A and B are shown apart, each in its own frame.
Chain A
Amino acid sequence: MFLSPFATEAVMTIEAAMTPEAPVIAPALEMRGITKRYPGVVANDHIDVEVRPGEIHALLGENGAGKTTLMNILYGLARPDEGVILLDGRETTIAGPSDAIARGINMVHQHFMLVPVFTVAENILLGEETMAGPIFLDRKEAHRRIVELGKRFGFEIDPEAKVGSLSVGWQQRVEILKALYRDARILVLDEPTAVLTPQETQEIFAVLRRLAQEGHSIVFISHKLYEVLDIADRITVIRRGKVVGQRLPSETDEDDLAALMVGRNVQLTVDRGDSKPADVALEVRGLEVKDDRGSVVVQGVDLDVRSGEILGIAGVAGNGQDELVEAIVGLRRPSGGRITLRGQDVTRASPRAVNEAGVAYVPADRHRFGLVLSFPLADNLVLTDYYRRPYARGVLRNDQAIEASAQERIREYDVRTPSATVRASTLSGGNQQKLVVAREFARDLALLVLDQPTRGLDVGSIEFIHRQTIAKRDAGTAVLLVSAELDEVLELSDRIAVMYRGRIVAIRDGRTADKNEIGLLMATGGQARAAAPVAETGPAA
C-alpha cells in the first residue's frame, strides 16, 4: 500500500497505523523455516526472521554464519531447499532478482553493484529504465526524479556525475537511491559500512533512519557490534546457519552479542600491553611511488617504525597504502626516495632480498598473492624459502624436511586441516590466513608488514591473528599494519599514521587517538590542520 515513495499520503497512513492503539499489522517480511544445504554444509538451518514495517532489523553473525545465503535466497539469487517467504503475510516465491525487485525487495550489496564508467543516472536507471517510447530512455524525466529523491533524503546529487569519480560514501548513496528509485519497501544492506569512515557511517545511518520513518523496512547485515546496537530496532543473531537469539538493543550489550555470535565468550579487544620501542628498524624518507597507470600515488612519505612497536596506517582504501606497502617489500620500484632497513638501503632491493633481510609480508589478497591455492599446504608454507636448506638439497626438494616443518607449523598456528597435503583452496578463509601467518611469522623478523590481515575473517581468527601480531611485537619486531578497518588500527597500533591522497597527514599516539578525529583525517586529510608537522608525535619512548 505504500508502494510509491511519492505517495506521501500512503506514508502518513502507515505512520498513523503504527501508533500503539492501531491493530497489529502483518510483518512486511517473514522468512519461515528457511533451509539451504550446500554439499557438506547446511548454510541455513530452519531460519526464522520477521521484519516489521518501518523497522530496522539487524542480522548479526560472523562471516560464514549464513547471513549472505539467507539474503541471496530473499533476493532470488539462491533457492531454499525448505521454508517459505511471506510478504505482508502472503506466501511468495522469488525466482530471481527481477522477481524480488518487482515485489519491492532491494539489496545494497557489500561490494557495490555499480558500473564505474556509467553516470549516476545510468546506474540508477539500469534494469528499471524510465522510457520515452518503446526504445529510447527518458533521461530528462529520470534526472528530475533522481534529484527529487535525493532532496527528500537530504542530499544533493548530480545525476550526470560518473560513479567511478565518487567517494565510497557517495557510491553508497547511489546504491540506496537505486533501491528507492525502484520503490523499495524492503531494503537489505549487506555490510554497508565496511568501507566507510565513521562520519560517512553516521551520515548513512541518518538516511536509513529517515527511510524507516517513512515506512520502509530495512534489513541491516553486519558483524560490527556497536553499529548494530546503534542503528537497529531489533537484532537477530545467526551462528552456523541457525538463529541463536533475538535481542532488543536496549536489553543487550556488545559482550552479550559477541558471545551469542561466536558461541563462547570472546575477548573483543586484545590487550596489547605496553610497547617497548627500541631502535628504528624501518626508515622511509621522501618515498614516491607510481601506480600501474603511472600516476604518483605515494607522494613523499616519511615514516619510522621502531623495533617493538606497531605502526598502524589508517586511510580510506585507495589512498596509496597498497603502493606504499608494495614498495617497502620490493614488489614495486619507487620513483623516488629511500627505504632503509636496520641501516641497510633496500630501496631497489628485490622481493627476495627484502625477504632475506628479515621482512615478512602478509598481503591484502591472500588468494592472489598470499597463497597458491592449487598447491598443498606444505608447499605453501615454504614459498619464501623453498630454495634454502633444509627444504632444498641442491636443485632437489627435501620432501621430508618440508613435510616435517609443515606439521609443526600447522600445529603451532592452529590451522584446521585434515592434513598438510590437501590443497590450500580447500581451507576456510580464516584457516587460509592462518596458513599465511604461519609461513610469515615463523622466524626471526626485523619487520612485519601486514596489509589488511583480517579482512573477511571470523571473530575467532581475528583474535588469533591479533594475538600473534602482539606477540611478534613483544619479541622485538617492528610491525607495519595497514588496514581499512579503522577499529583494527585503533585496537592494535602503538602509533597511528593517517594516509590521505598519498601523504601521511598526521601521526597520533595509539592509546590516546580519538576515533572521530582519525575518521575525519581519513576523509578530508585534515585540510584545516594541514600545516601541522608530520612528525609532531614521536614514538612513545
Chain B
Amino acid sequence: MDALINALYSIPLVGLVFQLGGYIIAVGPNVAPGILQAATPVALAALCGVMCERAGVVNIGIEGIMLTSAFVGWYAGVLLAPVLGTADLGPFGANPALVVALVIALVSGVLISWLHAWLSISVRADQIISGTIINIVAVGLTGYLNNLISKASPNGAGAFTQFKPPHELTDLPVVGWLLGMFLSQGPIAMSVIVIVVIFQVLLFRSRWGLRSRAVGEHPRAAETVGIDVIRVRYRNVLIGGVFAALGGAYLSMEATNSFQQEMTTGRGFVGLAAMIVGRWSPVGAFGAALLFYSSTALGNSIKFARPSGDLGTILVGLPAQLYDALPYLLTIIILAGVVGRSIPPAADGQPYEREATA
C-alpha cells in the first residue's frame, strides 16, 4: 500500500495532485470547524440574497445590514450588561445581556431591510441605489458612533462560545470530522446549517416557496392568481434581513466580542457571489461559501503545517498574500466561468407595478 502511494507521489504533476489530496485529507478534520466559522457570515449574507432575489428584489445592501447589526448588537450588549448582568445561562456562554442584545441586533437588521423594502418595493426606487445608500450610511454611521463610544473602551456583554461535542462523536471513523465541523460551533454558526436545510426544503416544497419563486419570476402571473406580490416581497426582504443581521451579529458577538470599523470587509458582497455561484438555492449558496473559505483555510494551514516534499516547497514559495486573496480570486474565477449558466429569477430587480387600479 505504502509502496503504491509512494509510486503515485513520485509521478510529476500527477504526483503533486496526489500529494495535495493526501495533505487535505490529513489536515481536513482539524481545519473543518474553522472553515464553517469563516463561512458563516458569508453564508448568511448569501441566504439573505437568495431570500430577497427569489422574490425579485435585489439586495446589495446586505453588507450595510450586517455592519449595522454587528454594531447594534455589540453596543446593545455594552448598554445591557450592567442592567441585565452577564451571569452564565449555561450552553454557548449565553448570558441575559448577550441574548437580548442579539435580539436587538436582529431587529435592527429587520428595520434596515424595511427601509430597503420600502424604497425598492413601495417607492419603486432603483434597487441598486437603495442598497448602495444603505451600505454607505451603515459605514458612516457605525464608524462615527464607534469612534465616539470606543474612546471609553467599554466592556461588552461578551460573546457566544463554542459547543464541545463529546469525543465519542468526533472520533467516529469517516463521519467524525463532519460531526466535529458542525457541532464544534457557537449557536449562530450552528444555526446556519439548520436554516439552510429548512430554507431549501421550504423553497421548493412549500406553498410559501412556490409563491415566492413565482413572484420573483413572473409577478403579474402571481397577481392574476390572487397572490399579493407586494406583501410576498416585503415578507421575504424582512426575513432576509434576519439572516443578514445574524451574519453581522456573528462577527461582533460570536467570532469576537467587540466591534471594529468596517468589520464586515465585503462579506456581504462575497455572499452575493456565493448566491450566484450557488444558483440562487440555499444549499448551493451555502456550499459556495464553504468552498470559498476552504481555500482560505488551506492557505492558513499551509503556513502553519507545511506539507512535505515537492508540494511543500512549491506552496511555501508562493507569496502569502496569494492565500489571503484566494477566496476573492475564486469568486472572480467561478463567477466568470459559471455565471453564464447561472440564471437569476426572471423578475429579479424589477419593481412591480400593479395594473391600473386607479
CB–CB A77/B221 < 8 A: no
Q: Which residues of A contact B213 (CB under 8 A)?
A: 115, 118
Could you jot down 9 A-B contacts, CB within 8 Å? A38-B358, A78-B355, A79-B357, A113-B220, A116-B346, A118-B217, A126-B214, A128-B225, A129-B207
Residues from chain A with a CB closer than 8 A to the CB of B221 are 113-115, 123, 126
State whether A113 touches B226 (Cβ < 8 A): no
Choose one: B202, B214, B357; the contact of A135 (CB below 8 Å).
Answer: B202
Q: Answer whether residue B218 sits at the interface, using C-beta atoms and an 8 A cutoff.
A: yes
From A100, A113, A137, contact of B205 by CB (8 A): A137
> Given A78-B357, A79-B357, A118-B217, are A127 and B206 also a contact pair (CB < 8 Å)?
no
Q: A90-114: contact bitstring with B at CB < 8 Å (1 yes, 0 no)?
A: 0000001111110000010100011
Query: Quick one: closest B residue to A293, CB to CB?
Result: B340
Partner of A136, one of B205, B226, B346: B205
Q: Provide the residues of chain B in CB contact with A135, threshold 8 Å.
A: 202, 206-208
**Could you tell me if B226 and A117 are in contact, using CB atoms closer than 8 angstroms?**
no
Q: Is B308 an interface residue (CB 8 A)?
A: no
Q: How far in angstroms is the closest Cβ of chain B from A104?
A: 13
Interface residues of B in 109-157 (CB under 8 A from A): none
Q: How far is the CB of A33 from chain B (nearest CB, A)?
A: 20
Contact B227 A126 (CB under 8 A): yes
Given contacts A78-B355, A115-B214, A115-B218, contact A107 B206 (CB under 8 A): no
Q: Taking beta carbons and an 8 Å cutoff, which residues of B are in contact with A?
A: 202, 205-208, 210-211, 213-214, 217-218, 220-227, 346, 355-358
Binding site secondary structure of chain B: helix
Residues from chain A with a CB closer than 8 A to the CB of B218 are 113-116
When the two chains form their complex, are residues B346 and A126 in contact, meaning their CB atoms are under 8 A apart?
A: no
- Beyond contacts A115-B218, A116-B218, A137-B206: 13 other A-B pairs, Cβ-Cβ < 8 A, are A38-B358, A78-B358, A96-B226, A114-B218, A115-B213, A125-B210, A126-B225, A127-B211, A127-B222, A135-B202, A137-B205, A137-B210, A178-B225
Q: How many whole Å from B112's CB to the nearest CB in chain A?
A: 28
Which of B223, B225, B346, B358: most chain A CB closer than 10 A? B225
Asked if B202 and A126 make an inter-chain contact with CB atoms under 8 angstroms apart, the answer reads no
Q: How many contacts A-B (CB < 8 Å)? A: 78
Does B214 contact A98, Cβ atoms closer than 8 Å? no
Chain B nearest CB, measured from A188 CB (Å): 11
Specify which chain A residues have a CB less than 8 angstroms from the CB of B223 in the assembled complex: 97
Least Cβ–Cβ distance between B350 and chain A, in angstroms: 14
**CB distance B225 to A122 under 8 Å?**
no
Interface string of A128-155 (1 = CB under 8 A from B): 1101000111000000000000000000
Shortest Cβ distance from A101 into B: residue: B226
B217 x A98 contact (CB < 8 A):
no
Residues of chain B within 8 A of A115, CB atoms compared: 213-214, 217-218, 221, 346
- A37, closest chain B residue (CB): B358
Q: Which residues of B contact A131 (CB under 8 A)?
A: 207
Determine whether A72 belongs to the interface, using a CB cutoff of 8 Å to chain B.
Answer: yes
**In the complex the two chains form, what is the Cα distance from A107 to B223 in whole Å?**
12
Contacts of B346 in A (CB 8 A): 115-117
On chain A, the residues within 8 Å of B207 by CB distance are 129, 131, 135-137
Report how far A77 CA is from B358 CA in the complex, Å.
10
CB atoms of B226 and A127 under 8 A apart:
yes
Shortest Cβ distance from A515 into chain B, in angstroms? 32
What is the chain A residue whose CB lies nearest that of B202? A135
Cβ–Cβ contact A109 & B205, under 8 A:
no
The proximity string for A residues 447-476 relative to B, scoring 1 for CB distances below 8 Å and 0 otherwise, is: 000000000000000000000000000000
Query: Which A residue's beta carbon lies closest to that of B211?
Result: A126
With a cutoff of 8 Å between Cβ atoms, the chain A residues found around residue B224 in the complex are 75, 77, 97, 107, 109, 113
Candidates A99, A101, A126, A178; contact of B222 at CB < 8 Å: A126
Docked-complex contact A97 and B357, CB < 8 angstroms: no
